[in-house]
Structure 1
Amino acid sequence: MYRALTKTNFLIKTTSSFKLQNTTYTKKAFSTSIVAKHGHLHAPKKGEELHITFVLKDGSQKKYEVSEGDSILDIAQGNNLDMEGACGGSCACSTCHVIVDPEYYDKIPEPTDDEDDMLDLAYGLTETSRLGCCINMNKDLDNIRVALPQMTRNVKSSDFE
């Protein structure tokens, strides 16, 4: 499918993708690396639908049927909601910050040290704040409600120069 131009395996074709650990990756032309492709959701199987409600910045609510394993970041981006995900879902920023309904907060696995470090940078941090890229839907989270904060903070290295 791809022709190597040199030993560094520069890629010519741009339309191929593959899956690894439930994330779709796409190889880009003239690149030796892969990038995660967010917003790529699969329709839930009949009878296995899970539900999530987003409370938007204006207070309106949007409810979606999703599949088990979908991250909140992917769900938001796949439905064109205002969630940036600047780091591509690698837990290296705080732009997918969400505020989880307290009823569901304890059903989510404890945040990792990396997630806690990134949450320290989030605007409007609350007791139930989490990163959307770190929450994957499962049956315990069916009907979860998450609110999008009024603002996000995208801290980049140039901010410190």
Structure 2
Amino acid sequence: MEEYAERLTIPWWLWLPGLGGAALLAAEIWMGSDGVRAWLPFVVLLPLAAVGLWWLGRIRIRVAGDELHVDDAHLPVRFVADVVPLDVAGRREVLGVGADPLAFVVQRPWIGGAVQVVLDDPEDPTPYWVVSSRRPVELAAALLAARDAARV
């Protein structure tokens, strides 16, 4: 049973400068030449930029059963001590100067919210996870509910 799912896609307005920059670079390479230099930069750079932008927005977050999945990483909810939903200022504070270097962080700058998942696993040196989320309160509630259900 999946209780929460989210994909950290790039918003449409960030695609415009990404593809625009690739088109500008292709035009700089082209510079009025004919032959292969007239079309090859556009054929190569625009799809490359599109694939790169898609790749940046591929991260999926889900709480399914008794695990939190963030891309390829997974965390059994039995090790979750607490979950704190963060707004932009809270995320900045958690990831700022005092951040623990052993923390697991999946942060996307175009997403304002995040959750801090505090861990209670004596065998893991990771003190907490910080994961970007567009709906941090819902993710925190789903994690806590999954943890409580796993403890029963």
Query: What TM-score do you get using the length of structure 2 for normalisation?
Result: 0.24
Query: What TM-score do you get using the length of structure 1 for normalisation?
Result: 0.24
Structure with the larger helix share: 2
Structure with the larger strand share: 2
